[in-house]
Amino acid sequence: MGKQTGDGRRRVVITGMGLVSPVGNDVATSWQNLLAGVSGGALVTAFEATEDFPCRIACEVKGFQPLDYLDKRDAKRFDRVSQFAIAASAQALKQAGFGEAPAGIAPERFGVLIGSGIGGIATFEEQHRKLIESGPSRVSPFFIPMFIPDISAGLVSMRWGLRGPNYATVSACASSAHAIGEAVRHIEHGDADVMLAGGTEATITPMTFAGFSSMKAMSTRNDDPAGASRPFSIDRDGFVMGEGSGILVLEALEHAQARGAEVLAEVVGYGLSGDAYHITAPPDDGYGAQNAMRMALRYAGAEPTEVGYVNAHGTSTMADAIETAAIKSVLGEHARKIVVGSTKSMTGHLLGAAGALEAIVCVQVCRTGKIPPTINFSAADPACDLEYAHGGMIERRVGLALSNSFGFGGHNACLALRRWE
């Protein structure tokens, strides 16, 4: 059933998962499409992306109906970023057996930690237009609580009456990985028995696209939206924006067992570090990424040879080569015996929600023994010379998986998840 922690920390397991993604609005649909190599990439529909925008493609959430989870009043008062979080939380709670009114646990022992790199940027842009065009009196009184990045965690806690630890992590593209790791620590150290943790993001807006395009960070392969995100391929030219939310129910093992919950996987390791190097670029040797992965393995009490799968940060940028080098440095020769995958080739980059989605992928890999492909491969980059599942889904038993998340500002996080036996 996994190794005991040697220092008295409580073991933390996953009992529920929820997902709203560019390839499906629940875990089952998303997982089926990921295994099949389905791309979520298409031309932007959220706004009119004229030729003035160098990038006009995205991996948007499709067919999402907020009224499936919210009444009309709340749907109008919640930014899309919070609508996603509510939906994913509802799914995760249902799978964990808590439902609409979590019973059998004191509200003070049930917390919420949801990260977001940017928050309600669509609301910000809309209200800023009103300010410029119509004056300050036309700005909505709901503007601030719709926009701030912490509001999704607050709204989720209010929806289900959860009074335990409650806040948001904001560390760019590492936000939700940090949220999961810190939630694990709260349970380990007795601050809570159960935590809803993950991330949410909804950044397919004109301002966000303009900003990332000005940085030349996004793919401009506008004539091939489905093939634009191509991690580790020699002709990769930038990331493709995604959106959505991933939420996990994390629970103390003894608490889950006492109520007869199904355990999906165990979170056994968490590593975090800072590059102290550059506002957007990692150092050439990826020492920050190395430090996070090594810390996660130490935390797990695991040897590098136990790792079977790494869900790489793998953004389809030049940094893919640096991450490859970091993985080889940490795992040594064993790196050539594992699969390194980037599901961002299909989902795009969900920024602050990416780590949670990819942690869910790692859980599914450990549970099913199936590893999603990294699609859109064209030709090898000599600096990216590991097994990336370019040929399609791979079947392989995985006992321990790592999920890497790295954010602008030099924020690094790595989660280690173990198969539940």
- Same domain for 76 and 221: yes
- Same domain for 408 and 376: yes
- Same domain for 292 and 217: no
Rounded Cα–Cα distance for residues 38 and 35 (Å)? 8
The CATH number given to whatever domain includes residue 141 is 3.40.47.10
Total count of domains within the chain: 2
pLDDT at res. 1: 32
The 3-class SS string of 92-133 reads HHHHHCCCCCCCCCCHHHEEEEEECCCCCHHHHHHHHHHHHH
Task: Judge whether 57 and 169 are in contact, CB under 8 Å.
Answer: no
- Same domain for 275 and 249: no
Domain boundary among 217, 232, 258: 258
User: Which class for 8: exposed (0-12), middle (13-18), buried (19 or more C-beta within 10 A)?
Assistant: exposed
- pTM more than 0.85: yes
Asked if pLDDT for residue 5 goes beyond 70, the answer is no
- Same domain for 362 and 242: no
Residues acting as catalytic residues: 173, 313, 349
Tokens, residue 252: 């103390």
- Same domain for 277 and 254: no
Domain boundary among 258, 279, 310: 258
Q: How confident is the model at residue 8 (pLDDT cuts 50, 70, 90)?
A: confident
| Beta pairing class for 307-311 and 339-341 | parallel
Is position 4 within any domain? no
- Same domain for 352 and 214: no
Q: Which residues contact 101 (CB under 8 A, 6 or more apart)?
A: 160, 161
pLDDT at res. 103: 84
Task: Judge whether 192 and 165 are in contact, CB under 8 Å.
Answer: yes
Kindly report the CA angle at 314 between 204 and 60, in degrees rounded to 5?
25
pLDDT at res. 6: 57
Is position 42 within any domain? yes
Task: Judge whether 193 and 105 are in contact, CB under 8 Å.
Answer: yes
- Same domain for 77 and 170: yes
- Average of pLDDT values for 346-374? 98
Rounded Cα–Cα distance for residues 78 and 119 (Å)? 11
pLDDT at res. 102: 87
Asked if pLDDT for residue 222 goes beyond 90, the answer is yes
Residue 194: give the domain boundaries: 12-258
Query: Phi, psi at residue 411, to the nearest 5°?
Result: -90, 125
Asked if pLDDT for residue 100 goes beyond 90, the answer is no
- Average of pLDDT values for 368-381? 97
- Same domain for 62 and 202: yes
- Same domain for 322 and 236: no
What does the pLDDT look like over 205-214, one tens digit per residue?
999 999 999 9
Asked if pLDDT for residue 266 goes beyond 90, the answer is yes
What does the pLDDT look like over 128-178, one tens digit per residue?
999 999 999 999 999 999 999 999 999 999 999 999 999 999 999 999 999
Count Cβ neighbours within 10 Å for each residue of 184-222 and write b for 16 or more, e otherwise: bbbbbeeebbbbbbbbbbbbbbbebbeebbeeebbbebb
- Same domain for 249 and 145: yes
What does the pLDDT look like over 178-191, one tens digit per residue?
999 999 999 999 99
Rounded Cα–Cα distance for residues 387 and 283 (Å)? 23
Is position 124 within any domain? yes
Q: Which residues contact 139 (CB under 8 A, 6 or more apart)?
A: 127, 130, 131
Task: Judge whether 56 and 123 are in contact, CB under 8 Å.
Answer: no
What does the pLDDT look like over 292-346, one tens digit per residue?
999 999 999 999 999 999 999 999 999 999 999 999 999 999 999 999 999 999 9
Is position 1 within any domain? no
Tell me the pLDDT of the chain averaged across its residues.
Answer: 96
Is position 263 within any domain? no
Q: Which of 191, 363, 197, 145 is nearest to 265 (CA)?
A: 363
- Same domain for 374 and 247: no
Is position 178 within any domain? yes
Q: How confident is the model at residue 4 (pLDDT cuts 50, 70, 90)?
A: very low
